[in-house]
Amino acid sequence: MTERVDVAIVGGGMVGGTLAAALAEAGLSVALVDRADPAEQLEQAYDGRTVAIAHATHRLLQATGLWTRLVPHAEPILDIRVTDGPSLLFLHYDHRELGEDPLGYIVENRAIRRSLFARLGGLETLRFRAPAALARHIAMPAGVTLTLADGNEIDAALLVAADGSDSALRRAAGIASAQWDYGQTAIVCTMAHEKPHRGIAHERFLPAGPFAVLPMTDDPVHGHRSSIVWTEKKALAPAMLALPEADFSFELHRRFGPWLGEVRVAGGRWSYPLRFAHAETYVKPRFALVGDAAHTMHPIAGQGLNIGLRDVAALAEVLVDAKRLGLDIGSAAVLERYQRWRRFDNQVLLGVTDTLNRLFSNDLAPLRLVRDLGMAAVNRLGPLKHFFMRHAMGTVGDLPRLLRGEAL
Ligand SMILES: Cc1cc2nc3c(=O)[nH]c(=O)nc-3n(C[C@H](O)[C@H](O)[C@H](O)COP(=O)(O)OP(=O)(O)OC[C@H]3O[C@@H](n4cnc5c(N)ncnc54)[C@H](O)[C@@H]3O)c2cc1C
Give 359-368's long-range contacts (Cβ < 8 A, gap of 24+).
Answer: 360/84, 360/205, 360/209, 360/210, 360/300, 361/182, 361/184, 361/205, 361/207, 361/208, 361/209, 361/210, 361/231, 362/207, 363/85, 363/207, 368/84, 368/85, 368/87
Per-domain boundaries in the chain: 2-75+103-179+276-362+383-404
Closest CA to ligand 1's atom 50: 299
Pocket of ligand 1 from Cβ distances under 6 Å:
10-16, 33-36, 49, 51-52, 134, 162-165, 168, 186, 188, 229, 272, 291-292, 299, 302-306, 308
Pick the CATH number of 2-75+103-179+276-362+383-404 from 3.20.20.80, 3.40.50.300, 3.50.50.60, 3.90.1280.20: 3.50.50.60
Ligand 1 centre distance from Cα of residue 269 (Å): 18
Per the rule left: phi > 0, alpha: psi between -120 and 50, beta: everything else, 347 is: alpha
Q: For residue 89, what pLDDT is reported?
A: 66
Ligand 1 centre distance from Cα of residue 111 (Å): 14
Residue 96 has pLDDT above 90, yes or no: no
- Contact yes or no for 64/75 (Cβ under 8 A): no
Task: Report which ligand 1 atom has the smallest distance to the Cα of 292.
Answer: 26
CB atoms near residue 68 (< 10 Å): 12
Q: Return d(Cα 202, Cα 260) in angstroms, integer.
A: 11
- pTM for the predicted model, two decimal places: 0.96
Q: Return d(Cα 37, Cα 15) in angstroms, integer.
A: 17
Amino acid in the structure at residue 202: H
Residue 69 has pLDDT above 70, yes or no: yes
Question: pLDDT per residue over 302-350, tens digit each?
Answer: 999 999 999 999 999 999 999 999 999 999 999 999 999 999 999 999 9
CB burial of 179-202 (b: ≥16 within 10 Å; e: otherwise) equals: eeebebbbbbbbbbbeeebebbbb
- Contact yes or no for 302/50 (Cβ under 8 A): no
Ligand 1 centre distance from Cα of residue 309 (Å): 11
Question: pLDDT per residue over 353-402, tens digit each?
Answer: 898 888 878 878 777 777 777 777 777 777 777 877 788 888 888 999 99
Q: For residue 1, what pLDDT is reported?
A: 87
Ligand 1 centre distance from Cα of residue 13 (Å): 6
Average of pLDDT values for 280-299?
Answer: 97
**DSSP-based helix, strand, coil % in the chain, nearest 5:** 40, 30, 30
Ligand 1 centre distance from Cα of residue 248 (Å): 26
24 burial type by CB count under 10 A (0-12 exposed, 13-18 middle, 19+ buried): buried
Residue 88: pLDDT band (50, 70, 90) is: low
